[in-house]
Amino acid sequence: MMKKAVINLEELACPTCMQKIEAAVASVKGVDKPSIKVMFNASKLKVNFDEEKVTVKDIEKAIEDLGYPVIKSKVVAA
Amino acid sequence: MQKYILAHKKELTIINGSLLLLALADHFFLTRGKIVPVALIIAGVAGVLPIAVQAFQSLKVKVVSIDVLVTIAVLGAFFVKSYEEAAVVTFLFLAGHFLEQATLSKTRKAIKSLTEMAPEVSLKKDQTGKFVEVSIDEVTQGDTLLVKTGGKVPVDGKVISGSGYVNEASITGESKVAAKQAGSLVYAGTILENGTFQLQAERVGEETAFGKIIELVEEAQDSKSNAERFIDKFSKYYTPAVLLLAIVVGLITKDIELAVTVLVLGCPGALVIGIPVSNVAGIGNGAKHGILLKGSETIQNFSKVDTMVFDKTGTLTVGAPQVNKVISNPEINENKAISTLVSIEAESDHPLAQAVVKTYPNVTRYPVSQTQVIKGGGIIATVKGVKVVLGNLQLMKNNQIKLGPGEIARSEQLESEGNSLVFMAINNQLALILGIKDQLRPNVKSELLRLRKLGVKNLILLSGDNQGTVNQVAQNLRLTEAKGNMMPEDKAAYITELQKKGQNVTFVGDGVNDSPSLATANTGIAMGNGTDVAIDTSDIVLMNSDFDRLVPTLKLAKATSHNMLQNIVIAVGVVVFLLTSLLFSSWINMGIGMFVHEASILVVILNAIRLLNYRLK
């Protein structure tokens, strides 16, 4: 089952952080790469993922490991 | 360890800055003490730590980020023992970040304050009949909710008891208070200024009108134009290219200092950030004033508009037409005919039908059966066992209903006076001809003139109304062109024709039955009251159905588009300037390079903030 995660991040300020976050999330297995959308101004990340292969916690961890704290996340049906 | 360093970025920046200051003071006021190099080394190390951690993390995900460039540059500076440069560069880079963060949140403020207006809690009736506060996520359709004075309406719904005055600014963009009582519709995000009522939830969360507005604006602030996607792609290769260039320069000249200076000068910051900051500020300013722009592509398109196509009813006119003239057949009882007319029209939401119903609120109504709606024609129904044909002239012709020469002459007369015509035949005999007229909106004429001055060369009216009415409006308003008897598909086809001639077409309509045109035009503008407007099909939504908003919207689009261009010129200009100065002058060094780089980022952000304060008029 594909799910869609909306992850609220702490305010994004640096120009290259979008690239980094995108690359980090893309490296998580089970994530639908073309669906990754880092929203610079909204400071949000939207991504579709396969809930049998990966959890939203794994995605959050990939982002937090980069040094960008996750404020909250919401998972809805894709 | 890495997390610890990042968490204390601020403290490290302060240590870095104060040691740098100490060293500078020492340098100027004392004889060069031993304290200077030590202080600078510590400052440099404290400064480079968080940058290096970020660089390391981004390399782990195979991205050559700006942090990587700066880290290598600082390490290079340490290597050639220029501790002062190491300290200065790291300080500027870190302090610049904090300034950027602060100013960036300012550009986002307008949209943030809008999204924060979304209701979060609600008083919901539980099984025992008591009202308890619950999170908005727990409210579903059909729930009974309570709103008290000062409270926010949590959902779209219908008042079932109580009454009050509601400020609907969040929906209409206009701080007007509306009275609500049992049966009134209320909208999520509006505020009950006075009173108490219970309501039944009809639409919740993202389904509400306000939820849709928020969704639109949130998506819009990050939507990307083609130019932006190009820049994003470009910058992906740009940073590694700078790194490569620096290595090449270092290998050829064997001058490490020069090589690391190239690294710093090549940082792309302002370029990546330039368009998004203008975008968020322009869209934010609009949103504050009830103008919803769907993104930077929309802004670009609309700013270059040269042809505007208008719908008539509800756009150029008030949209509240009234029956102006009735011609009845002397062989048929007029009162009964009008009762028949109102009974059928009451079932339709066509603007002309509503005009009829509004004009005759108190007539007897008959039961209506076998209603059949003829698209672009009218209605055929059965009343009291008799067939009634109600609609335009074409519908009469199609049903072989005969008009006498006198009737034709009088209806042509009505049409030329700007009336829309409605015909009704009972039992295949013409019973009534109605002339229905709508008032022009106030200021339409002067607003159209202002649009012309802003470069909109062609003003075109396309309407489903008869040509006579349309011509009269066109003459009155000095429009370039006016076409009547147009079905929604005809309008869309006509817009396509205009586009083929190379015109940039904006369609302005009330959004109710013009979806094809809204979607076909380069820019579709829906003028509604934010509650029932087709948000999905249009590119720009004017929440307040005020014609006077069109000119400010165009001005804002132009200002935002200029602002984006300015930011790109600043960003590219700075990098070109820095790299050429490196080649042709001797004064440039890492410190100055980093200063100019950070300053250029701040300049583009500050430039975008101007848009937030841009006065809409």
Q: What is the CATH number of the domain that holds A8?
A: 3.30.70.100
Nearest-Cα distance to chain B for A13, in Å, is 5
What pLDDT sits at residue B237?
84
CB atoms within 10 A of CB B56: 13
Q: Which residue of B has its CA nearest to A38?
A: B222
Give the N- to C-terminal CA distance of chain B in Å, as an integer.
54
Whether B581 and B588 have beta carbons less than 8 Å apart is answered as yes
Please name the member of B57, B100, B601 whose beta carbon is closest to the beta carbon of A67. Answer: B57
Specify if B397 maps to a domain: yes
Specify if B64 maps to a domain: no
The rounded distance, in Å, linking the Cα atoms of B54 and B65 is 9
Residue A66 belongs to what domain range? 2-77
Q: Identity (one letter) of the amino acid at B311?
A: D
What pLDDT sits at residue B531?
52
DSSP B266: T
Q: Tokens 């109605």 — which residue?
A: B434
- The CATH number of whichever domain residue B390 belongs to comes to 3.40.1110.10
Maximum pairwise Cα distance, chain A: 34
Question: Residue A4: beta bridge partners?
Answer: A48, A76
Task: Report yes or no for ipTM above 0.90.
Answer: no
Specify if B71 maps to a domain: no
Whether B452 and B327 have beta carbons less than 8 Å apart is answered as no
CB pairs under 8 A between A and B: 73
Alpha carbon of residue B427 to chain centroid: 51
Alpha carbon of residue B572 to chain centroid: 28
The rounded distance, in Å, linking the Cα atoms of B511 and B30 is 74
pLDDT band at B157 (very low <50, low <70, confident <90, very high): very high
Q: Which residue of B has its CA nearest to A12?
A: B101
Write out the residues of chain B at the interface with chain A, using a CB-CB cutoff of 8 A. Answer: 2-3, 6, 53-54, 57-58, 61-63, 65-67, 97, 100-101, 104-105, 107-108, 111, 218, 221-222, 235-236, 239, 268-269, 271-273, 276, 279-280, 601
Please name the member of B6, B66, B104 whose beta carbon is closest to the beta carbon of A67. Answer: B6
Specify if B213 maps to a domain: no
| HEC assignment per residue over chain A | CEEEEEEEECCCCCCCHHHHHHHHHHCCCCECHHHCEEECCCCEEEEEEECCCCCHHHHHHHHHHCCCCEEEEEEEEC
Q: Residue B4 has which token pair?
A: 């610890």
User: B426: helix, coil or strand?
Assistant: strand
Strand order in the sheet with B420-426: B322-328, B429-437, B420-426, B386-391, B378-383, B368-374
Whether B307 and B458 have beta carbons less than 8 Å apart is answered as yes
Q: Which range is least confidently modeled, B25-39, B342-356, B471-485, B572-586?
A: B25-39
B491/B344 same-domain check: no
Specify if B524 maps to a domain: yes
Please name the member of B6, B63, B104 whose beta carbon is closest to the beta carbon of A20. Answer: B63
- Asked whether the predicted pLDDT for residue B533 surpasses 60, the reply is no
- Pairwise CB contact (< 8 Å): B53 & A67: yes
Please name the member of B54, B63, B111 whose beta carbon is closest to the beta carbon of A23. Answer: B63
Q: Residue B49 has which token pair?
A: 């730590």
Q: Does B493 or B220 have the greater pLDDT score?
A: B493
Selection from B362, B507, B338 nearest residue B434 by Cα: B338
- Pairwise CB contact (< 8 Å): B65 & A24: no
Q: What percent of chain B has pLDDT over 70?
A: 96
The rounded distance, in Å, linking the Cα atoms of B210 and B226 is 29
What pLDDT sits at residue B32?
58
- Asked whether the predicted pLDDT for residue B92 surpasses 60, the reply is yes
CB atoms within 10 A of CB B126: 11
B305/B351 same-domain check: no
Whether B523 and B305 have beta carbons less than 8 Å apart is answered as yes
A8 dihedral zone (left: phi>0; alpha: psi -120 to 50; beta): beta
pLDDT band at B282 (very low <50, low <70, confident <90, very high): very high
- Pairwise CB contact (< 8 Å): B269 & A15: yes
- Pairwise CB contact (< 8 Å): B57 & A65: yes
Please name the member of B62, B100, B222 whose beta carbon is closest to the beta carbon of A13. Answer: B100
Alpha carbon of residue B173 to chain centroid: 13
Alpha carbon of residue B532 to chain centroid: 16
Span B198-214, mean pLDDT? 88
Q: What does the pLDDT look like over B224-256, one tens digit per residue?
A: 777 778 877 887 788 888 889 889 988 998 888
| HEC assignment per residue over B106-140 | HHHHHHHHHHCCCCCEEEEECCCCCEEEEEHHHCC
CB atoms within 10 A of CB A61: 14
Q: Residue B262 has which token pair?
A: 């190239």
What pLDDT sits at residue B196?
92
Span B162-178, mean pLDDT? 81
Q: Residue B183 has which token pair?
A: 């049966």
**Cβ contacts of residue B263 below 8 Å, gap of 6+?**
B69, B70, B72, B73, B76, B242, B243, B246
- Asked whether the predicted pLDDT for residue B277 surpasses 70, the reply is yes
What pLDDT sits at residue B310?
92
B344/B383 same-domain check: yes
B507/B548 same-domain check: yes
Burial class (CB in 10 A: 0-12, 13-18, 19+), B179: exposed
The rounded distance, in Å, linking the Cα atoms of B168 and B384 is 44
- The CATH number of whichever domain residue B198 belongs to comes to 2.70.150.10
Q: Residue B104 has which token pair?
A: 């960036």
B163/B197 same-domain check: yes
What pLDDT sits at residue B29?
65
Three-point CA angle B143, B146, B152, nearest 5°? 105
Q: Which residues of A touch B56 (CB under 8 A)?
A: none
Q: What does the pLDDT look like over B589-601, one tens digit per residue?
A: 788 888 888 899 8
Nearest-Cα distance to chain A for B473, in Å, is 44
Please name the member of A24, A41, A42 whose beta carbon is closest to the beta carbon of B61. Answer: A24
Whether B90 and B44 have beta carbons less than 8 Å apart is answered as yes
Span B306-313, mean pLDDT? 90
- The CATH number of whichever domain residue B307 belongs to comes to 3.40.50.1000
Torsion of CA B590, B591, B593, B595, to 10 degrees: 160
The rounded distance, in Å, linking the Cα atoms of B150 and B316 is 37
Span B485-492, mean pLDDT? 86
Tell me how many domains chain A contains.
1
Span B16-20, mean pLDDT? 81
Alpha helices in B454-487 (DSSP H): 467-477
Q: Tokens 């980022």 — which residue?
A: B601
Span A9-30, mean pLDDT? 84
Q: Which residues of B touch A67 (CB under 8 A)?
A: 2-3, 6, 53-54, 57
Interface test with B, best of A4, A16, A45, A61 (most B CBs within 10 A): A16
- Asked whether the predicted pLDDT for residue B530 surpasses 80, the reply is no
Torsion of CA B350, B521, B613, B116, to 10 degrees: 60
Q: Identity (one letter) of the amino acid at B573?
A: G
The rounded distance, in Å, linking the Cα atoms of B455 and B554 is 10
- Strand ranges (E), B13-172: 121-125, 131-135, 144-147, 156-167
What pLDDT sits at residue B173?
66
Tell me how many domains chain B contains.
3
B399/B467 same-domain check: no
The rounded distance, in Å, linking the Cα atoms of B258 and B90 is 17
The rounded distance, in Å, linking the Cα atoms of B615 and B289 is 10
Q: Is the torsion defined by CA of B283, B287, B289, B290 positive or negative?
A: positive
The rounded distance, in Å, linking the Cα atoms of B473 and B498 is 21
Selection from B409, B345, B433, B437 nearest residue B383 by Cα: B345
Selection from A46, A53, A32 nearest residue A75 by Cα: A46
B523/B494 same-domain check: yes
DSSP B560: H
pLDDT band at B551 (very low <50, low <70, confident <90, very high): very high
B309/B457 same-domain check: yes
B350/B423 same-domain check: yes
CA within 13 Å, CB half, B167: 14
CB atoms within 10 A of CB B537: 17
pLDDT band at B481 (very low <50, low <70, confident <90, very high): very high
Average pLDDT, whole number, for chain B? 86
Residue B534 belongs to what domain range? 295-313+441-552
